[in-house]
Amino acid sequence: MRYHFVKPQLYNPRYGIIYECNHEVYSKCTLYLIKDKGLAVIQQRYDKETKTTWWTEIDPYLVDALYLNQNFKEYFNRYSGIVKGGLYPTVTIRQIMWALKMKPIKRERWETTFDHRDI
């Protein structure tokens, strides 16, 4: 039995786009757009040499897996919004995977979380 999301061997993301903005937490995210509403999804990265972390777009193999999930549309309708000041409502990869009842990606020791739902 698999406990974590397994990276597929072949993937070609089609649904989300990489969006660059001036958010105080991140500068790049994966953006899902439907009509005039959008939802930004971010994932934390780590540099072993400098021991620093930052938030950026999600791994390409997760882009379509999220969008094609049967519960994505309902989640998107609940949390997405129109752009305000160049920014869209944002969630972390773990928040959305948990909400969509997907197997999570493997958690690393260096990962941090947000105390509040809104980022």
**What's the confidence (pLDDT) of residue 5?**
86
State pLDDT tens for residues 46-65.
999 999 999 999 999 999 99
Instruction: With a cut of 70, list the residues of the chain below it in pLDDT.
Output: 1-2, 115-117
Q: Would you state the pLDDT for residue 2?
A: 65
CA dihedral over 55, 11, 109, 116, signed as positive or negative: positive
Q: Are 39 and 89 in contact (CB under 8 A)?
A: yes
Q: Is the pTM of this model over 0.75?
A: yes
Which of 101, 112, 94, 102 minimizes the C-alpha distance to 41? Answer: 94
CA atoms of 21 and 86, how far apart (whole Å)? 7
Classified as helix, coil or strand, 64 is: helix
For residue 114, the model assigns a pLDDT of: 72
Least Cα distance to 36 among 81, 90, 73 occurs for 81
